[in-house]
């Protein structure tokens, strides 16, 4: 691989993916608009982690800016593109829908168009487990119907998959969508539950556990996500001819998840153990006094659970990090970074 583009390089997954590629000696061009959806200093810290690499170039730009995207592709001639830039967050999409249309729809269209006119060997892009909506069949399989999103965020991610399929069919662009399941770890997003819980507990505030604690989430450690992305990058879908003599679009979608859904109450229990162990919270902290069980929030779903058999079959990979291992690394990082 020569030049690799990672959009959303100041983001959680984007930064760790860039680091892993740079450690392998690859040349990475990272772009990000560094918006203030959450604390910008955390994005700056991730970029600082990458700044020591000679083969890393960072450009501050927005994928919704079509002329800038077109110029970027023309200037660098990317071989592989990993599109992780997106407006994240389910609940935020309820209050700020325009941000999701700009980044997740217009921005992704601009990336597809740039790949069309500046051919790449593989476009890998972030989808989300949210596309499964309130599916009652578990585990969630990429063979399942995903036509009933419960948030605009989910609708934009499903739209990305449809747009990618269209561009794969029309222009033979190899594309692979990755449905990530609840990614967590050090330097993660502060709007995620484990991070928000930690901030609130440290301040002595009460944490709200939705659906009265009856939710289950398929948590996936960031290093496992990165490993999955890299394996997929190296195996673009191949253009094949169908029975009708026409090309079959080089298009694929995979789940990347732990395949081990955790009850939120059990998750909180493991988190509090690791926060105490790391010295973030005192040993005598009264957790029961700081927990409140509340109803389900709009846009949420009761369970996420990844069927990862396709990823195992095609890429020989399945995430392995346990929740205790992952939360331990998060707690240790949190202590070092904030305290």
pLDDT by position in tens, the chain (length 339): 489 999 999 999 999 999 999 999 999 999 999 999 999 999 999 999 999 999 999 999 999 999 999 999 999 999 999 999 999 988 899 899 999 999 999 999 999 999 999 999 999 999 999 999 988 899 999 999 999 999 999 999 999 999 999 999 999 999 999 999 999 999 999 999 999 999 999 999 999 998 888 889 999 999 999 999 999 999 999 988 888 887 899 999 999 999 889 999 999 999 999 999 999 999 999 999 999 999 988 878 888 999 999 999 999 999 999 999 999 999 999 999 999
Q: How many CB atoms lie within 10 A of CB 320?
A: 12
Residue 265 falls inside a structural domain:
no
CB 311 within 8 A of CB 317: yes
Q: Can you tell me the distance from the alpha carbon of 297 to that of 6, in angstroms, rounded to the nearest whole number? A: 33
Residue among 253, 250, 260 nearest 221 (CA) = 260
Q: Can you tell me the distance from the alpha carbon of 315 to that of 328, in angstroms, rounded to the nearest whole number? A: 28
Q: What is the pLDDT of residue 255?
A: 98
Structure tokens at 250: 């080089």
Residue 213 falls inside a structural domain:
no
Residue 285 falls inside a structural domain:
no
Q: What is the pLDDT of residue 240?
A: 87
Q: What is the pLDDT of residue 300?
A: 80
Residue 193 falls inside a structural domain:
no
Residue 119 falls inside a structural domain:
yes
Q: How many domains does the chain contain in total? A: 1
DSSP 3-state of 250 = coil
CB 8 within 8 A of CB 183: no
Supply the CATH number for residue 174's domain: 3.40.50.720
Q: How far is CA 193 from the centre of its chain?
A: 15
pTM: 0.96
Q: Can you tell me the distance from the alpha carbon of 228 to that of 311, in angstroms, rounded to the nearest whole number? A: 8
Q: Residue 147: which domain range?
A: 3-181+221-259+304-320
Q: Which string of DSSP letters, residue by residue, matches 17-83?
A: HHHHHHHTT-EEEEEE---SSS-HHHHHHHHHHHTT-TTEEEEE--TT-HHHHHHHHHHH--SEEEE
Residue 173 falls inside a structural domain:
yes
Q: Can you tell me the distance from the alpha carbon of 182 to that of 140, in angstroms, rounded to the nearest whole number? A: 14
Which residues are annotated as catalytic? 153
Residues in a beta bridge with 178: 126, 254
Q: Can you tell me the distance from the alpha carbon of 151 to that of 160, in angstroms, rounded to the nearest whole number? A: 15
Q: What is the pLDDT of residue 105?
A: 98
Q: Can you tell me the distance from the alpha carbon of 142 to that of 160, in angstroms, rounded to the nearest whole number? A: 15
Residue among 50, 240, 234 nearest 124 (CA) = 234
Q: What is the pLDDT of residue 284?
A: 95
- Which residue shows structure tokens 């077109």? 70
Structure tokens at 122: 């593989």
Number of H helices, E strands in the chain: 12, 15
Residue 292 falls inside a structural domain:
no
Alpha helices in the chain (DSSP H): 12-23, 40-50, 66-76, 90-95, 97-100, 108-117, 152-171, 193-202, 222-233, 264-277, 309-315, 323-338
Structure tokens at 49: 């982690």
DSSP 3-state of 208 = strand
Q: What is the pLDDT of residue 61?
A: 98
Residue 331 falls inside a structural domain:
no
Residue among 264, 308, 300 nearest 133 (CA) = 300
CB 133 within 8 A of CB 179: no
């Amino acid at each position: 691989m020569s030049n690799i583009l990672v959009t959303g390089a100041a983001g959680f997954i984007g930064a760790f993916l860039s680091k892993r590629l740079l450690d392998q000696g690859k040349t990475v061009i990272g772009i990000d608009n560094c918006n203030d959806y959450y604390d910008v200093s955390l994005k700056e810290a991730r970029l600082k982690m990458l700044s020591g690499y000679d083969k890393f170039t960072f450009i501050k730009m927005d994928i919704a800016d079509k002329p800038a995207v077109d110029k970027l592709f023309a200037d660098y001639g990317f071989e592989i593109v990993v599109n992780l830039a997106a407006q994240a967050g389910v609940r935020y999409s309820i209050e700020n829908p325009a941000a999701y249309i700009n980044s997740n729809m217009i921005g992704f269209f601009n990336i597809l168009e740039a790949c069309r006119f500046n051919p790449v060997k593989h476009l890998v892009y972030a989808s989300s487990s949210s596309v499964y909506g309130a599916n009652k069949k578990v585990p969630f399989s990429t063979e399942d119907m995903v036509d009933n999103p419960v948030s605009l965020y989910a609708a934009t991610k499903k739209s990305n998959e449809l747009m990618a399929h269209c561009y794969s069919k029309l222009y033979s662009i190899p594309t692979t969508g990755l449905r990530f399941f609840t990614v967590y770890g050090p330097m993660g997003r502060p709007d995620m539950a484990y991070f928000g819980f930690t901030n609130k507990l440290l301040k002595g505030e009460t944490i709200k556990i939705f659906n009265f604690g009856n939710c289950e989430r398929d948590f996936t450690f960031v290093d496992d996500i990165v490993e999955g992305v890299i394996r997929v990058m190296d195996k673009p879908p191949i253009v094949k001819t169908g029975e009708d003599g026409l090309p079959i679009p080089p298009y694929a979608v995979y789940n990347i998840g732990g395949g081990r859904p955790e009850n939120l109450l059990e998750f909180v229990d493991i988190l509090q153990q690791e926060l105490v162990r790391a010295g973030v919270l005192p040993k005598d902290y009264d957790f029961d006094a700081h927990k409140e069980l509340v109803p389900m929030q709009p846009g949420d779903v009761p369970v996420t659970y990844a069927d990862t058999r396709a990823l195992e079959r095609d890429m020989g990979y399945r995430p392995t990090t346990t929740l205790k291992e992952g939360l331990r690394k998060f707690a240790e990082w949190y202590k070092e970074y904030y305290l």
